[in-house]
Structure 1
Amino acid sequence: MRNILTFGTMKTDETTSKQDSTPDNIDALLALAEANQRAARRLIEQLDVEGAFRRIGAETHLVGSLRTGLLMTHLDVDFHIYSPSVSVRDSFAAVAEITARPGVSNAWFTNSLDTDEQCLEWHLHAADHEGRTWQVDLIHMPSDSPFAGFFERVADRIAARLTPETRLAVLAMKAATPGDTKIAGVEYYRAVLDGGVRTWDDFMAWRRAHPLDGVDTWMP
């Protein structure tokens, strides 16, 4: 059985190296996480997502791994955006402003206003100051949506429950995940915080026993 805290794969843009539990390698793992989180916040400033949506009367909230402090090697930033009503025209105007900024290479969207989610989903690819491509997800929904504020509370409660050991466990599992394997952030967090998972093999077994189906409304 492979213990992710003593053996794993930590990926960077330049190299792939083994990670072990020595202080140097733990420090390298934490340093990579901190560097990527700083880069994400710099990208947010570069794109001025909050300003673009504020100008159409919408409020922007950070959610996901950057809010929890658990962003690792998967370069993505997630926002939930709220306005009293959601207009495709207004939302397009905000995103048009964002996509005009340097570094944005493409954008696509899904109109889910007529579904249970009642939202517009925007997805952008944007390059950071080092030229790395990030995905920026913008979910625009009505202020009275059943999901309004929910995932912000989830992220804050995850952050509040983290200990140095569980934070390292999550980051190490994220770093060990192959680049072509898609795993939702909530799967790591539930497995570590509620399932007590600490090894990669146990994590794979936990996922088989707890398959993700649709929107996960777990609250830690």
Structure 2
Amino acid sequence: MNQIFELADLMQKKAWDIIEDTNIIEIWSSVGATINLVGSLETGLLINSRDIDFHIYTNPFRLADSFSAISRLAENKHIKTISYANLTEAEDKCVEWHAFYEDSEGDSWQIDMIHILNESPYAEHFEKVAERISEVLTQETREAILRIKNSIPVENKVMGIEIYKAVIESGIRDAKSFLRWKAQNPEEGIVTWIP
């Protein structure tokens, strides 16, 4: 098997082990939430960024439910830090939780839990993005995306969605070409592109 796919599969297995260890899906479900995996783990494109993304919905939205779920998550000894941002009055209409999980090798994983108000313009949008990316990915485009992601240092903070757009829409196949493409196609804020 191609080495890049093996590396991605290993990282994704670790991410799923963390999801299982934290019991995160059951915790949120216990407060009546629908919890959806989005982002690179959902699309099979997680490789070098230790990041797990969830979008969460409750009806009705209650801040107390968010805190209740997070307090249970915080009981896991591997969760070392949790940050919170209330953006319910912002365009996003959400509450952002960022939990940091330290794995057995001492690596830190960021678990993003975005608790979204049902009237947010982004409600269920990124679930559709992940679904469409998964539908249009080919072996070739998946390999190109994974290679580009793996060659760009995580600290450079490139959004995965930019790489997906460059590869799927513009035919970019390597990191050097991607960085040129990115310079010509700067993104600010939330990227709403969908293939």
TM-score, normalisation: structure 2: 0.95
| Inter-partner Cα distance in structure 1 for 2:115 and 2:7 | 30
For the residues of structure 1 that align with 2:56 and 2:2, how far apart are their CA atoms? 35
- Cα RMSD over matched residues? 1.3
Task: Give the match's secondary structure for 2:164.
Answer: helix
2:147 counterpart of 1:172: yes
The equivalent of 2:99 in structure 1 is 124
How far apart are residue 48 of structure 1 and its match? Answer: 1.4
Which of 174, 199, 206 matches 2:181?
206
Amino acid of the structure 1 residue aligned with 2:167: V
After superposition, where does 1:59-208 map in structure 2 within 5 Å? 59-208=34-183
Task: Give per-residue Cα distances to partners, 1:14-33, cap 9 Å, x unaligned.
Answer: xxxxxxxxxxxx72221110
Kept in 1, the 8 Å contact 2:33–2:56? The answer is yes
Separation in 1, partners of 2:137, 2:65: 38
- How many Å apart are 1:204 and its aligned residue? 1.0
Runs of 4+, deviation exceeding 6 Å: none
Say whether the 8 Å CA contact 2:91–2:120 is kept in structure 1. no
Q: Normalising to structure 1: TM-score of the pair?
A: 0.85
Which of 1 and 2 has higher RCO (CA within 8 Å, sep 6+)?
Answer: 1
1:109 partner SS: strand
**Rg larger for:** 1
More helix by share: 2
Unaligned runs of 5+ in 1: 1-25
Contact 2:37 2:54 in 1 (8 A): yes
Indicate conservation of the 8 Å contact 2:129/2:194, yes or no: yes
**Aligned-residue offset at 1:205:** 1.4
Secondary structure, counterpart of 1:180 in structure 2: helix
Amino acid paired to 1:208 = A
Q: Which residue of 1 aligns with 2:25?
A: 50
The residue type paired with residue 124 of structure 1 is A
CA–CA distance in structure 1, aligned partners of residues 101 and 155 of structure 2: 20
Please list, as runs of the form range in 1=range in 2, the aligned pairs for 1:21-60 lying within 5 A after superposition: 27-60=2-35
